Amino acid sequence: MADRLREAKAGKAPSRSNSDSRLSVRLTCERCRQRKVKCDKLDPCTNCQRIGVACVLVQRARLPRGKSGRHSDRETPDKDETLRERVSRLEELVRKAVSGSDVEPGSKEQFSKTVWGQGEQGFPRPAGEGESSRDGTTASESTDGQPDCYLGVSFWAELLKQVTGSGDNVSDNIDYQRLLSMAHGQNSPNPPLSNRGALRTTTTQKKLCQLFIQRIDPCFKILHHPSVSAFLLDEKPYLDYKPGHEAPTALAHAIYYSAISCVDEDECWQIFQQSKSSMITKYQKECESALANADVVTTNDLTVLQAFVLSLLSSHFQDRSRRVWTMLSVALRVAQALYLHLAEPPFPVRPFDREMRRRLWLAIGFLDMHSSADRASEPMMQASWLQSHLPTNTNDSDLTFTMETPPRESPNMTDMTFCLMTLQAQRTSRLLNSSDFIEPAVQTMATRQQLVIDFQQTTSRLLHHAQPTTIPLHWFTRQATECTHAAIQLLALRPLQRIATFTPPRIRSDQLLQAAVDVLTKSQALIDDPRAHPWRWMGHLFVPWHGLAVALAELCICDDPFLWAMFWAPVERAYGRLGGLVADSRQGMLWKPMEKLMARVRAKRETLQSRALPGTAGVAVSAAMQPSTQDIVVQQGADTRVGAVAAPDLATPESMQEPGLAAWPSVWETLDFADLGGGEELSWLNYESFIDDVYGSVDWSEIPH
C-alpha cells in the first residue's frame, strides 16, 4: 500500500514550477469528506474501492493560506462599493414593485388589484395566511388598505440578477431556476388558472350555465339561481365578492363541470360540437385547479364549499370507485368547521346566508345517504342532524342577498319542494337502515311501517298544490316521489344493513316480489319517459340494486309459472342494465354476490322448465323466455302497480287536490303481524345470505397487510 501511494504521489503530484498543475489540485473525495476519513486522493480512492461505492473526485485550485491568503486592503473599497451598489438597486427594485410605478397599465406584469391578482401568473396564497372574506380583504393587508401585490416574472428575474453576482456558489443557479418556476406556477402544488382576473364567460360557458339552471339546480338546490345568472350570464360580480376572487371562480368552474356531466354524448355534439369526454377532461381539470387555489380543505368560505360539493356530485358520474364516497368526509368536516350543523351558529348570519347554509347542509346529507346506499355502508350523518334546521320552502325569487327578514314558508310547490322531498326520504332511509352503529336501529315492524306512512303524509302535503299536467318539474317531482316511496317501503321489509334483532313479518301471496319489481319498473319508466329528460341524471344517481336483490331472492323460492311469466322479463332486463351502474361496476363488492344470486335464480328456472309437463304450466314457463312476452307484461301491468309509472297521466289534478293515502300503493295490508317469520322464511334467508356475501366479498389481495 505504501509503495502504491508513493508511486501515485510521484506520478501525479503537482509541480510548483507548473502553473497549470497548481490550478488543479486533487483534494479529499466527496465520499471520504462525508464519512470524515482520510483519503489517499487516488482515482478512485482506496476507501471507496473497499466499500464498493462511486468515488466523486474533487479537484480545484487550493485556497491560499497564511499571509498570501489575506486580501489586500486596497481591494476592500471596490468590493464594498459594489455591494452597496447592489443593495441600492435591490431597494429601488422593491420600492417600484410595491408602488407599481415601473409597469404600464395593461402590461403582462401589471400588479393585481386584489389579493389573488389579475395577472396571468398569480401566486396561490399559503394556507393560514389570513382569513379571506367575500370582499377580498385579508388580515395580512396593510392599515392603509393597500392590497398585496402580484410580482411578475420580470421582477424575480431582475432580483436574481442582482443577487447572483454577490457570490460564486454553484447552488445559485438552482435557486434562480426554482424561483422563476415558482413565478410561473410550474413547481407549485396549486398551479394558478390562466384567467385569474375578472371572469369572462364564453359562449360555451354561458350554455353550460343555462344547462345547470335548467337541469342541476331544480333537483340539487344549493345555490341562488338569480345570483348565478347575474354572475355567469350577465357577467356581474357574484354577490359581494370582488372581481377575480378565487371563491366565485371555483364556483363557476364547478357549475360548468356539473353541467357537462349531465349531458349525454349526442347532446354534447349537438350543442357544443365537441365530444363529451374532451369537455369532461377540460372542465374537470379546471374545476380541480380552481378548488386547489381556493384551498378547499381549510376554507372558511361557504361559496368554496358549495363548489366542492358540486364537484363531488359531478365526479360521481365519471368515477364509480369509492373516491367520491371517501372525499365526501372532507366536505362534511369543512361544513362542521363552518358550523353548518348548528341551527344557530356562534356568529351573526344574514337571512340570505342562513338559507344557503341550510341548503348546503341538506345537500351534503343527500350525498351522504346516496353514497352509503350506493356502497351498502353506514352513512356518516344522523337523521336528527337534518331535522333541527330545515331550509324554507320558498322560491329563489323571494330571496335577495340584502334581505333583512327571513323568507316566509310557502304552502305551494316551490323551487325547494323537490329537495325537501329528498330530505324526508333520506331521513326515513337513515332510520330504516340504521344498525345501532350510528344511531339506534328501528327494530319493530310497526315502527318501521309508521316511518313509511309519515313519509307518505309529509310528501303528500308538499305536493298538495302540484300541477303535474302543466308544469314538467311538478310532474317529475310527483313521479320521483312515488319511486322513492316504493323503495322506502321495500327498505322497511328488507333493510340494507344487518340488524340482528330484526324479525320480518310474513308477507302473504306474491306481494313482496311485486313490490321489488315495482321499484325496478318505476325507476326505469321514469328514466325512459321523455318528460323526465332534463332530470334524467337524477334517475341514474340512485341505482335500484336493492330492489333487484330482493326480487332475485323471491324468485329463488317461486314455483308459480304465472309469476315467472309476469316478473322474469323486467328482472332480467334490470340485471343486464344495472351491472355497469353499481359501485365499482361488475367487479365490485355488490355485483359479485348479485351474480351468485342470479345463478341460483337461473338454476331454479331451468329446474321448473325441465319439470314442466305439457299444459298450462309448461306454456306459461316457456312464455317467460320469449322476447315478445316483455311487451305483454308491460301491457298487463298497466292496470297494476308494476306499470303505473308508464301511464301517461298518472297524477291527475283531481288526485293531487286531496292529499290522502288512497293514491299511494301499499303492501301493509298483505303483512301478517301476528305471524312473525322468525327468520325461517326461505326468501328472508336468501336475502340475508346476499347481504352477508356483500360484506364478505372484499378482495383482500388488494389490501396490503
How far is Cα 238 from Cα 134, in angstroms, rounded to an integer? 9
> Residue 440 has what pLDDT?
76
Full DSSP string of 447-514? HHHHHHHHHHHHHHHHTTT--TTT-HHHHHHHHHHHHHHHHHHHHHHS-SS--TT--PEEE-TTHHHH
413-470 pLDDT per residue, tens:
999 999 999 999 999 998 888 766 667 778 788 888 899 999 999 999 999 999 999 9
536 with 482: CB under 8 angstroms? no
Residue type at 301 in one-letter notation: D
Q: Where along the chain do its domains lie?
A: 2-62, 81-184, 203-429, 466-702
Residue 188 CB contacts under 8 Å (≥ 6 apart), including other chains: 123, 124, 182
Instruction: Sort 481 into a burial class: Cβ within 10 Å, 0-12 / 13-18 / 19+.
Output: buried
Q: What angle do CA 310, 311, 315 make, to 5 degrees?
A: 120
Residue 492 contacts by C-beta under 8 Å, 6 or more apart in sequence?
Answer: 432, 445, 448, 449, 451, 452
Among residues 490, 507, 365, 349, the alpha carbon closest in space to that of 432 is found at: 490
Instruction: List the grid coordinates of 118.
Output: 389579475
* Bridge partners of residue 506, in order along the sequence: 672
Radius of gyration of the chain (CA): 35
pLDDT at 176: 40
3-state helix, strand, coil in the chain (%, to 5): 55, 0, 40
Taking 70 as the pLDDT cut, the residues of the chain under it are 1-23, 62-80, 96-201, 435-438, 500-501, 508-509, 583-588, 612-681, 695-705
Contact at 8 Å (CB) between 611 and 566? Answer: no
Asked if CATH classification 4.10.240 holds for the domain at 2-62, the reply, yes or no, is yes
